[in-house]
Structure 1
Amino acid sequence: MNNIASSEWDPSIAAPLIHSKLTLRDVLNDYDNQHLFTEDNTHFLFLVYKNEVFSQRADELITISDQTINTNYNISPAAIPNGDSLTLTHTTTYPFATPAGARYDTLYIKSGMMNFAINSNLNHDAKIRITMPSATKNGIPFSATLIYNYSGSLPVLVNSNFDLSDYKVVFTNVGGQSQITINYAVTIYGDGTGMSPSYTWNMGESLSNLKFSKFIGYFGQQTLNINNDTIPIDIFTHNFSGFYDFVDPKLHFIVDNSYGIPVVVNIGNFKAFSTQNSPYVVTISGSGIPIPWNILYPNFSQMGQSVRTQIDLDKNNSTIKNAIDISPQHLLCQLSGTSNPGGPTAMPNFVCDTSRLRAEIQVELPLWGKAWNFVLIDTIAFELKDVKEIESILFKINIDNGFPIDSRVQLYFTDSTSTVLDSLLNPFQQVVYGAPVGSAPDYKVISPVKKVTETTMGRARLDHLLNVKKMIIKAYINTYDATNTFVKLYSDYNIDVRVGVKAQLKIQI
């Protein structure tokens, strides 16, 4: 019985760990949570980074200031018999306060108020009729009537507000000023008392909180405040060394404009920045960048529609390939804009409140080229428990690779301070061989390549894993025959990965 109690049992257990067959699209779906990858009808892949560098609605760009009219005038009515009345008229032509150099032709008011704060020393009852012939709603001119009641004390104050929503105001432009006309008819009622030689009227008019639904006129030469903007290129963010050679990178400037206003944009200080590869900074320039850039705009028949202007930069008309060759983590672009650069045009400016000027930069990287000495590093939390009964573990990795990509992968096991305790593959070896590709122009994979990799972790190495808290995954990547051959990546490429383990146990019985 003592002999039986002290014996050991050495069983071995084998089990499949992983069997996964993935297309390149499957792999990208896990990574591409921002939908950066697109493909054409052949499944050829493009990586596209988009960044909105400017967007402004017309009602954010154009504001209508409050207007203080404040008409003052004197009246000198004749004596009015008791029970009779006398009507006196007055016309005010008010120059609307506009931004410097701007002209208002027609304003469609979305919302706003016209306010009256009348102050007068007239000692008789009266009625004030106010009209604005050029301000109409459904074709009917603005008209309002105010009642002036004299109760024995002066001055008499009359306050009233009128909603101008949905009114159309047509301005008269004289000497560079946009004017509106207001007519007043004051009817004074006789009560048998005498009249003073002169009375003062202060109408106290003002327009406040004006918002437009449509503006027609001339906006003037205004500077558009387009800030410097950074376009991150995430594919280069996690690489610690190595190079990409994209055959045909492209960059697109896109402006969508529903302002009926001529605009020019100047593109300056356009650079690519890399922390890894010299010369570290590349200026993007070339004949493809117009100086200045005239932005298309809609005409009256297109009011409410957007017109697109686009610049397409490639290796033939710019230095964009030089910029991408340094694997930049980001691009920096400075844009500035000016409205009506040539002054007033035959067609007036126009905007709706919802009109928008929007600028976007797209970096398009067709996945066609080479990559070599490219290193990706990531760190994940990892702990391995209950390994005391395991004498050794054999890992068997079987990969049937249809991607034109070679990869050497190492997994480093570290403690909480990131000190390396051990690694999975010892000696370090290549686990994925790239599939060969055919000739131009498709450069498609001819056939997949199989590679089987085995590695064993014995008892001493397993003891190292007891204090493991992290795993550092380091991948060294080259495209197939990167020195001589270009490849193209297609979404229907696939890879078949099988990982199995065989554990040798030692159990006391």
Structure 2
Amino acid sequence: MKIRLPHIIAYSLCAIVLHSCTEDYFDFDKLKVEPINPELALPLINSSLSPADIFTAEEDIEVLKTDQDGLITIFYNSDAFSIDTKSIFELKNQEYSDKVTLNNVEVIALPIQGTITKSYNTSYPFENGNNTRLDSMIVKSGLLKCNLVSSFQHGGNVKITFPTFKANGVPFSFNLPINYNGNIPVYSNSSISLENFKIETSQGSSNQIPVNYELTLNYSGQPISSSDSIGITIQTENLEFDSFYGYAGQQSISFPEDTLLLNLFKNAIGGTFNLAEPKLFIQTINEFGVPLELSFSKFDATTTNSGVIPMQLAQNPISINAPSTPGDSATTTIILDKNNSNIPAVISALPKNFIYDFSVLTNPNGDVQQNFVQYSNEAKAKIDLELPLVGSVNRYALVDTLDFNFDDAGDLVKSAIFRTNITNSFPVDANLQIYFTTQDHVILDSLFDGSKQVIQSSTVDFLGKTISPNNLTIDTKVDEFTLKNIFNSEKIIIKADMSTSNAGQTIVRFYDYYRLDVKLGLKAKFNIEID
């Protein structure tokens, strides 16, 4: 608010002159000019501090919630982490190589029979690191690539069957032709999409993928030897799953340090605020069928009064529940309150933020239960601070700053009285002082003698709720030295520190309609010389 007295004075003088004009005044020979000493009453500031002004920053007004009676609860929340499927478990490409040969009996039989068929059954381990175990999965996307290299100078075919790779319940098989045209080696390859396939490991051999080869050779009349062979390479590429069952392994997932910023006491410069029921919630929602463990290596509060205060956690590490059925989720909630933590002391010290650093461990107890993971699953955590404004206040100090400018009116003021009207509906006593400062907040003078003016609390009922406000009017006559400082000021700072009764021990309640209204007016007598 800008206050420019020369404009007000000019309007006032015009009113005085116009009111005094008669026809004789147009005879300038009769005009006699006397000094003018008007006395004006001017409003200077009108400040109204609400609970939002006192307890939160302007940008955080939405954190104040009220019940049906207007009782205020302050909420802050922060998303601590979010873990997607690939953070929990990600499939690695598998690669297997094998060789099929003929024994001496089969070498002798081929020229005689003209065609021979040989079966070769084996299995390959599903290797995904971290002691992972695959029981079954539904494939979302990915390819199966097979490459064949034959040194046989004979044509034929290799049929490859994956008994536990099933599409629509049917085991998957395909053929790799051996097209001999007089040159060796003979190459053959195939690439097959595995989308929507169900893949299982063999029941009798844990974490093994069975593969059956069936080699058919047609005699071409060329030589044949037991050293001839067919080399086969099988690879998966870009394999992703819709659902996975097995054991996802044990791994630690680290997160960068994070901060829950509190503007709760941004306007406060000191004092304590002892809340009766502050609570801090750590809540996780886990959609993975994988037990998790949340460990905090750091959870500190940075406070106005006491520097850094480590939080005392009721549990650390925190076991995070897992759902028992795919598609469900499990919620784990840890509540820190006055009974199991130091949260009351932390809030009393006027925290600016909470800083935390943590990690999440999958399967903390090892392979003790079957895991399930779906592609769209996630696990997330949030940290919520809930502060019902029921408690006591002791010398809780706050400030409000207003623009103020007398321009060049100082030389015109002969004397002045400042009138301060105060209405206090807060259930706290307040010590008030009004400072006049430069643009850079350097204090030039203050309005009240002594340290501060005492404002009495509102009248409250047995619950600590205001039933009637307290009103106070203060007239302050200022001397010339103080006037000079006031005229040179550019800002007004209103400072109040508040306490509940009994030396800040009485429990009271704060409602959204409470106000501390401060109105400052100036009654000034001006000395104006007219040349």
Asked whether the two chains share a fold, i.e. TM above 0.5, the reply is: yes
- Asked if the contact 2:304–2:351 (Cα under 8 Å) also holds between the matched residues in 1, the reply is yes
Give the corresponding residue for 2:383.
361
Work out which of the residue numbers 412, 419, 439 in structure 1 matches 2:442.
419
Give the corresponding residue for 1:493.
514
Work out whether 1:304 is the aligned partner of 2:327. Answer: yes
Change (3 A) 1:369 1:190: same
Q: Displacement, 1:103? A: 1.5
Change (3 A) 1:160 1:237: farther
Cα distance in 1 for partners of 2:519, 2:452 equals: 17
Give the corresponding residue for 2:202.
172
Give the corresponding residue for 1:405.
428
Give the corresponding residue for 2:165.
135
- Asked if the contact 1:244–1:372 (Cα under 8 Å) also holds between the matched residues in 2, the reply is yes
Cα distance in 2 for partners of 1:296, 1:97 equals: 28
Work out which of the residue numbers 125, 128, 150 in structure 2 matches 1:98.
128
Work out which of the residue numbers 65, 70, 79 in structure 2 matches 1:38.
65
Work out which of the residue numbers 309, 319, 340 in structure 1 matches 2:342.
319
Work out whether 1:118 is the aligned partner of 2:141. Answer: no
Indicate the SS of the match to 1:446. strand
Root-mean-square deviation (CA, aligned residues, Å) is 4.2
Change (3 A) 1:9 1:475: same
After superposition, residues 312-351 of structure 1 pair within 5 angstroms as 312-331=335-354, 335=358, 337-345=360-368, 347-351=369-373
Indicate the SS of the match to 2:128. coil
1:405-461 C-alpha deviation (Å, 9 max, x unpaired): 34445454544665334456677643854312211xx32112112233456789876
Indicate the SS of the match to 2:412. strand
Change (3 A) 1:474 1:495: closer
Q: Displacement, 1:486? A: 1.5
- Asked if the contact 2:437–2:443 (Cα under 8 Å) also holds between the matched residues in 1, the reply is yes
Q: Displacement, 1:298? A: 1.0
Q: Displacement, 1:233? A: 4.3
- Asked if the contact 2:54–2:267 (Cα under 8 Å) also holds between the matched residues in 1, the reply is no
Q: Displacement, 1:294? A: 3.5
1:175-214 C-alpha deviation (Å, 9 max, x unpaired): 6x41112233344455555545443222222112222222
Indicate the SS of the match to 1:161. strand
Cα distance in 2 for partners of 1:115, 1:105 equals: 22
Indicate the SS of the match to 1:204. strand
Give the corresponding residue for 1:391.
412
- Asked if the contact 2:274–2:391 (Cα under 8 Å) also holds between the matched residues in 1, the reply is yes
> Aligned letter for 2:98?
T
Question: Which deviates further from its counterpart, 313-322 or 427-436?
Answer: 427-436
> Aligned letter for 1:179?
Q
Q: Displacement, 1:104? A: 1.3
Work out which of the residue numbers 430, 445, 448 in structure 1 matches 2:466.
445
Q: Displacement, 1:87? A: 4.5
- TM-score w.r.t. the length of structure 1 is 0.80
Change (3 A) 1:56 1:90: same
Work out whether 1:241 is the aligned partner of 2:270. Answer: yes
Change (3 A) 1:465 1:396: closer
Question: Which deviates further from its counterpart, 370-379 or 208-217?
Answer: 370-379
After superposition, residues 430-469 of structure 1 pair within 5 angstroms as 430=453, 433-439=456-462, 442-453=463-474
- Asked if the contact 2:433–2:453 (Cα under 8 Å) also holds between the matched residues in 1, the reply is no
Cα distance in 2 for partners of 1:227, 1:308 equals: 23
Work out whether 1:476 is the aligned partner of 2:505. Answer: no
Q: Displacement, 1:489? A: 0.9
- Asked if the contact 2:161–2:213 (Cα under 8 Å) also holds between the matched residues in 1, the reply is yes
Q: Which runs of 5 or more residues in structure 2 are unaligned?
A: 1-27
Cα distance in 2 for partners of 1:473, 1:495 equals: 11
- Asked if the contact 1:47–1:367 (Cα under 8 Å) also holds between the matched residues in 2, the reply is yes
Q: Percent identity?
A: 30
Change (3 A) 1:200 1:282: closer
Give the corresponding residue for 2:24.
none
- Asked if the contact 1:171–1:179 (Cα under 8 Å) also holds between the matched residues in 2, the reply is yes
Change (3 A) 1:464 1:448: closer
Cα distance in 2 for partners of 1:467, 1:141 equals: 92
Work out whether 1:210 is the aligned partner of 2:239. Answer: yes
Indicate the SS of the match to 2:468. coil
Indicate the SS of the match to 2:60. coil
Cα distance in 2 for partners of 1:426, 1:184 equals: 101
Cα distance in 2 for partners of 1:504, 1:72 equals: 111
- Asked if the contact 2:52–2:64 (Cα under 8 Å) also holds between the matched residues in 1, the reply is no
Change (3 A) 1:234 1:174: farther
Give the corresponding residue for 1:352.
374
Cα distance in 2 for partners of 1:64, 1:34 equals: 46
Indicate the SS of the match to 1:344. coil
> Aligned letter for 1:362?
D
Work out whether 1:157 is the aligned partner of 2:187. Answer: yes
Q: Displacement, 1:109? A: 2.1
Q: Displacement, 1:351? A: 1.8
Indicate the SS of the match to 2:86. helix
> Aligned letter for 2:331?
R
Q: Displacement, 1:309? A: 1.7
Question: Which deviates further from its counterpart, 371-380 or 357-366?
Answer: 371-380
Kindly name which structure, 1 or 2, has the bigger radius of gyration based on alpha carbons.
2
Change (3 A) 1:126 1:249: same
